[in-house]
Amino acid sequence: MPDHHEPGNTVVRPVLPGFHPDPTVCRVGTDYYLACSSFEYFPGVPIFHSRDLVHWRQIGNVLDRPGQLSFPPGTPSSGGIYAPTLRHHSGRFWLIVTNVSDGGGNLLVTATDPAGPWSDPIRLPGVPGIDPDLAWDADGTCWCTFAGIGQVRIDPDTGQALAAPNRLWSGTPGAKAPEAPHLYLIDGFWYLLISEGGTERGHSISIARGRRPDGPFEPCPANPIVTHRGTDQPVQNTGHGDLVQAAEGSWWMVLLGVRPRGGTPGWHVAGRETFLAPVRWAGGWPVVGELVSAPPSPLHSSAAASVRDDFDPGDLRPCWISPRNPPVRHGTTHWRASWLSLTTHGRTLDDPRPAFIGRRQQHLSCRVRALIDPADGSGGLAVRFDEQHHYEIVIGAGLVQVLARIGPLHNAVASRQISAEPVVLGIDITTRTPSGPLSGPDSISFGVGEPDGSFTVLSALDGRYLSTEVAGGFTGRVIGMYAVAGTVHFDWFDYEPLGD
Ligand code: 6LW
């Protein structure tokens, strides 16, 4: 288990960096599994494996085929898939989750191997709202608890509610948004863990306990048991946690947090990330310790483990995602030998379903390079927050341009003619030490590789416009390849962590 005593450590690195919010965790023997929200991206619900709760490797995505995940027309960015709960019960993995854009539906899927395949979803029409949780009592009754905080008994095999929902607890009087419940039986008490205060700077975690799974519940006198609000902690917005006991008996919490940078009000660019904290018990209540800092990058995290993607035919690692459509789609994505090819069908990055395949920005400073052959089309590299907030470098017909879309404004900010194709295009993201209240969180530079191997920056843009504080929503930056006209080919894509 991790050593969490790092006195004087002001850099606290997530155990799962990049937009991986609403973590849920379970243990089977000495193996831990963790899943996160995925919103408008396909595939949905990334799932990870670890042996020590610090190093996580992505083993798949729970919702990875169109029959499991649909985004009806009009699904907004930050719609779609919210807040799963992952549990292991009677030899199977169970994952319950909400697709807020598909009739507001709660879905339940199961698997014997968490890497997949996962079942087709069953729907839970009797479970209202978001953030569903699953817990079984000794009789085998399945209790589904949801944001609000409410609860209903369900038949997990059919998805039928077995009674009308009950109100359980509304959290601390005056606190907004009681949500993210998880229910656990620990040493004879049922513990109801919730989040309150909203997922922004006021975020917190509180707990209550009772003798029965359906209450009544007595709040912990020390609530909130987690919050960084009003502190100078480098990680803010801490909340939405899930508890797990290690095989040797120690207790841990996974939870989300953000790393705001720059001046006032602080901008976080990588979304809500997954952190880890130790838990001890005192007087029958959990006491959550300081966040554990993951080892330094580069490559401390599984999801960043391979610097280069070579795009061998048919092979895309599970970290690659696309807005609303599967990244590999008939007629849109194919391989030209060992080059990945994207065909646009006329869609731009402003479209809800662009020809874009990306991966999360996981490090506050990082470098991206790709070798691109635009053939008769045009395309390049983009940093995407959503349809209305993205920066990109594009090549077509011998012209390289850097473009910025910020809300209603869309401009070319730099351009250069080049004579030879294919060409290396690149993005350098450098986190900034604030130099005053107006200083932004980072700089995003776009450039071109020269024949002698050097790199020429064409434009450096302020990163604040691609942050949650400007764009809004629940996600974070995704960096990837796109096509905007015709078919564009990508030989390789490098993502190099440069620091936190
Ligand atoms: C999620 C809620 C929350 O459903 O944000 O931080 C919402 N917590 O529990 C979307 O991630």
Q: What is the pLDDT of residues 13-35, one digit of tens each?
A: 999 999 999 999 999 999 999 99
Cross-strand bridge partners of residue 105: 99
Give nearest CA residue, ligand 1 atom 9.
Answer: 180
CA–centroid distance, residue 92 to ligand 1 (Å): 26
> Can you tell me the mean pLDDT for 143-168?
97
In this predicted structure, the answer to whether residue 4 has a pLDDT above a threshold of 80 is no
With a 6 Å cutoff on the Cβ, whether 21 touches ligand 1 is yes
- Which of 360, 385, 356, 330 shows the shortest CA–CA distance to 488? 356
**Separation of alpha carbons 382 and 10, rounded Å:** 31
The residue among 88 and 499 whose pLDDT is bigger is: 88
CATH of the domain at 458: 2.60.120.200
Model confidence at 297: pLDDT above 70 = no
What is the residue-wise DSSP string for 241-297? EEEEE-TTS-EEEEEEEE--BSSSS-B--S-SEEEEEEEEEETTEEEE-PPBPPPPS
pLDDT of residue 420: 82
The atom of ligand 1 lying closest to the CA of 256 is 6
Q: Is residue 303 included in any domain, yes or no?
A: no
**Single residue among 259, 288, 317 that ends a domain in this structure:** 288
Same domain, 282 and 324: no
Any ligand 1 atom below 6 A from CB of 240: yes
Q: Which of 20, 36, 37 to mutate to test the pocket of ligand 1 (most atoms within 8 A of CB)?
A: 37
Residue range 221-250: average pLDDT?
A: 97
- Domain co-membership, 130 together with 267: yes
Q: Which atom of ligand 1 is nearest to the CA of 83?
A: 4
The C-alpha atoms of residue 118 and residue 266 are separated, in whole angstroms, by 39
* Residues 230 and 339 reside in one and the same domain: no
Share of the chain above pLDDT 90, in %: 90
Dist. CA 421 → ligand 1 center (Å): 45
Q: Based on the fold, state whether residues 316 and 211 are members of the same structural domain.
A: no
Nearest CA to ligand 1 atom 5: 199
Are 422 and 341 in a shared domain?
A: yes
Shortest CA distance to 180 belongs to which of 161, 152, 199, 167? 199
Quick check: is 17 in a domain?
no
- How far away, in angstroms, is 361 Cα from ligand 1 center? 20
Q: Is the same domain home to 96 and 209?
A: yes
Q: Is the CB of 257 under 6 A from ligand 1?
A: no
Query: What value does the mean pLDDT of the chain take?
Result: 94
Query: What is the 241 CA–ligand 1 centroid distance (Å)?
Result: 11
Confidence of residue 303 (pLDDT cuts 50, 70, 90): very low
Residue range 108-131, pLDDT digits in tens:
999 999 999 999 999 999 999 999
Query: What's the number of domains the chain is made of?
Result: 2
User: Residues 353-375, buried b or exposed e (16+ Cβ, 10 A)?
Assistant: bbbbbbbbbbbbbbbbbbbbbbb
Are 323 and 220 within one domain? Answer: no
With contact defined as beta carbons under 8 Å apart, do 470 and 340 qualify?
Answer: no
Model pLDDT, residue 470: 98
Q: Considering only CA atoms, which residue is closest to atom 1 of ligand 1?
A: 83
Q: Is residue 441 part of a domain?
A: yes
Q: Identify the sign of the CA torsion 229, 470, 479, 121.
A: positive
Can you give the pLDDT at residue 301? Answer: 47
Among the residue ranges 79-93, 173-187, 427-441, the one predicted with the least confidence is 427-441
**Is position 148 within any domain?**
yes
8 lies in some domain: no
Given this model, what pLDDT does residue 331 score? Answer: 85
- Same domain for 280 and 373, yes or no, is no
Atom of ligand 1 nearest to the CA of 78: 10
Does 82 contact ligand 1 (Cβ within 6 A)?
A: yes
3-state secondary structure 164-228: CCEECCCCCCCCCCCEEEEEEEECCEEEEEEEECCCCCCCEEEEEEECCCCCCCEECCCCCCEEC
Report the separation in Å between the CA atom of 242 and the middle of ligand 1, taken as the mean of its atom positions.
Answer: 13
Ligand 1 centroid, distance to 256 Cα (angstroms): 10
Q: Mind listing the pLDDT tens digit for each residue in 350-409?
A: 999 999 999 999 999 999 999 999 999 999 999 999 999 999 999 999 999 999 999 999
Average pLDDT of span 82-91 = 98
pLDDT, position 302 = 46
Report the relative pairing of strands 179-186 and 423-431 from DSSP bridges.
Answer: unpaired
Ligand 1 atom closest to Cα of residue 147:
9
Which of residues 288, 322, 349 is at a domain's end? 288
CA of 401 to the centre of ligand 1 (A): 37
Question: Lowest mean pLDDT: which of 36-40, 71-75, 310-314?
Answer: 310-314
266 with 391, same domain: the answer is no
The verdict on the CB of residue 130 being under 6 Å from ligand 1 is yes
Q: Whose CA is nearest to atom 3 of ligand 1?
A: 199
pLDDT tens digits, residue range 257-286?
A: 999 999 999 999 999 999 999 999 999 999
Pocket lining: 37 vs ligand 1, CB cutoff 6 Å: yes
Do residues 183 and 154 both lie within one domain? yes
Query: 217 and 82, same structural domain?
Result: yes
pTM for this prediction:
0.96
Rounded average pLDDT over 422-451: 94
- Confirm or reject: Cβ of 36 under 6 Å from ligand 1: no
Check pLDDT > 80 for residue 304.
no
User: Rounded mean pLDDT of 195-221?
Assistant: 98
Catalytically active residues, by annotation: 22, 179
- Sequence-distant (6+) residues with CB within 8 A of 329 are none
Asked whether the predicted pLDDT for residue 6 surpasses 50, the reply is: no
Domain residues for 52? 24-288
Torsion angles phi and psi, residue 303, rounded to 5: -65, -20
For ligand 1, the distance from its centroid to the CA atom of residue 271, given in whole angstroms, is 12
Query: With a 6 A CB cut-off, is 180 part of the ligand 1 pocket?
Result: yes
131 touches ligand 1 (CB under 6 Å)? yes
The verdict on the CB of residue 239 being under 6 Å from ligand 1 is yes
Q: Is 95's pLDDT higher than 90?
A: yes
Task: Give the CATH number of the domain where residue 77 resides.
Answer: 2.115.10.20
Is the residue at 263 inside a domain?
Answer: yes
| pLDDT the model gives residue 466 | 98
Span 199-215, average pLDDT: 98
pLDDT in the model for residue 46: 98
Is residue 486 in a domain? Answer: yes
* 61 and 177 fall within a common domain: yes
